Structure 1
Amino acid sequence: MTDMANHPTQTRTLGEVLPAVLPRPRTVFEPSLSNSPSALVARLTNSQLATAQAVAFAPLPAIAQADAQFLAQSLLMLDVLPRRRDDELGGKLRVRAYQIAIGVRPKDAIEFMVAEALRTCRFYPSTAECIAILSRWERSDEAVRVRREASAAVRHERQARFDEMMARLAAGEVEQAEIDTLPVSWLKIAETRSHLRREEDGRYTSRVRA
């Protein structure tokens, strides 16, 4: 597994990201968001949102790869499975054949392959079977979990801000100066909901009187 101590940014931001996806007590009532799922999610400040976005879109740190020795030791664990009658490879030749077929893979993926083969295979798995098992492996270390939490926090906050703005537009509470700063996609949605109208010059203005 990847040592998260070597990635202080992701470890540090985990505590900031997690509160964004934890539900509030359902007794909390927010009138402008009461009909939205995001009403039950803790909100992020602009700074927290920027941090969550940085984590969500940052590349994952490198994960430990299995070397030839690790693969050879892993294949030895599969020796408890019976061989097929036409299986004539053995020893170093077998390991080399599997190295060529499998290629360089993360240690976690090789461990997954061995566990799945022991659980599901009646015979020592062929290289094709090993590759098929490896295709089902998904990385799920701490770095991946942190990024998923950050992505969820970003989605929740963006949805909450959108819902809040639509509610304010519906109530006629948004000044023209603020309307002019909204994303075009939001303006178009607000227009379809009859909160805004698009003028001949392309500018969007409120249809609702405060």
Structure 2
Amino acid sequence: MEMIGQAAQASLRGLMDLPPHCDRLPVAKPPLRLPTTSQEAATLRAWAETQPDRPAPASLQQISKHLSFIAAAIPGRAMDEESGKKRVAVYSSILADFSNDALSYLARKACETCDWFPTPRQCLEILRKYRPPASDRDKALMLYHRFWDGRFEEFMATLRSGTATERDIATAPRQWRAIAMEQGYLRWIDDEKRYVIRLQPSAAAAGAV
């Protein structure tokens, strides 16, 4: 019952003296809150783009810890140390792409649902049901897009209300102006190479009075 846990520890002894993995220094993390300025939004996006788009894979030590946890709780087939090491190598290879949080989920679910130490196929079946929480990268990008969605709605609201100025039009992103033209709020003056506010029927009628 304890053989897999013992083998996992034994198989890692030769790796413990390796130097730690060193990544480049991270960009300073901004506050994860809704931006109030375009500069704050740009900072959020710039930080998010430096972050990995998926969690880091678990280390061999973390994989060993989770296998040992499962082995301590669920009986498995008895085997000698050499066979145990080979089995750990197989499990480590199969689980190497999963994050530490995913393997924590695997360990909990295996203890809840398995009568015997899970096979590699059973491990993968459990992991397919794992849904990671939103990462800080995801939150930063969501806040970035929420900020600009709000600014776009404000821009369109000024056009609908007739309070937009020529400066509002000139400083708006090109895509916003194209959408506003499609919806009939702006028109393109080809000779001047610029968008201008299209006079709405209600405003035209009021001016004629």
TM-score scaled by length of structure 2: 0.64
Deviation of 1:105 after TM superposition, in Å, equals 4.0
Deviation of 1:181 after TM superposition, in Å, equals 3.7
- The aligned residue for residue 184 of structure 1 is 174
Structure 2, unaligned stretches of length 5 or more? 1-24
- The aligned residue for residue 161 of structure 1 is 151
Q: How far apart in 2 are the matches of 1:105 and 1:122? A: 23
Verify the 8 A CA contact 2:188 2:196 in the aligned structure 1. Answer: yes
Q: How far apart in 1 are the matches of 2:65 and 2:58? A: 14
SS in 1 for 2:124: helix
Segments of 4+ moved more than 6 angstroms: none
SS in 1 for 2:184: coil
Cα deviation digits, residues 99-137 of structure 1 (max 9, x gap):
233335433332222112112323321111212333444
Q: How far apart in 2 are the matches of 1:63 and 1:121? A: 27
CA RMSD after TM alignment:
3.4
Deviation of 1:53 after TM superposition, in Å, equals 1.9
**Aligned length, in residue pairs:** 172
Cα deviation digits, residues 9-51 of structure 1 (max 9, x gap):
12xx22xx32x2xxxxxxxxxxxxxxxxxxxxxx612332222
Query: Please, which of 58, 65, 71 is the counterpart of residue 58 of structure 2?
Result: 65
Q: How far apart in 1 are the matches of 2:92 and 2:196? A: 65
Verify the 8 A CA contact 2:102 2:127 in the aligned structure 1. Answer: yes
Q: Which has the larger radius of gyration?
A: 2
Q: Which amino acid aligns with 1:193?
A: Q
- The 3 A distance-change label for structure 1 pair 169 and 109 is same
- The aligned residue for residue 87 of structure 2 is 94
- The aligned residue for residue 9 of structure 1 is 28
- The aligned residue for residue 195 of structure 2 is 204
- The 3 A distance-change label for structure 1 pair 8 and 100 is closer
> Identity across aligned pairs (percent)?
26
- The 3 A distance-change label for structure 1 pair 73 and 186 is closer
Query: Please, which of 100, 112, 119 is the counterpart of residue 107 of structure 1?
Result: 100
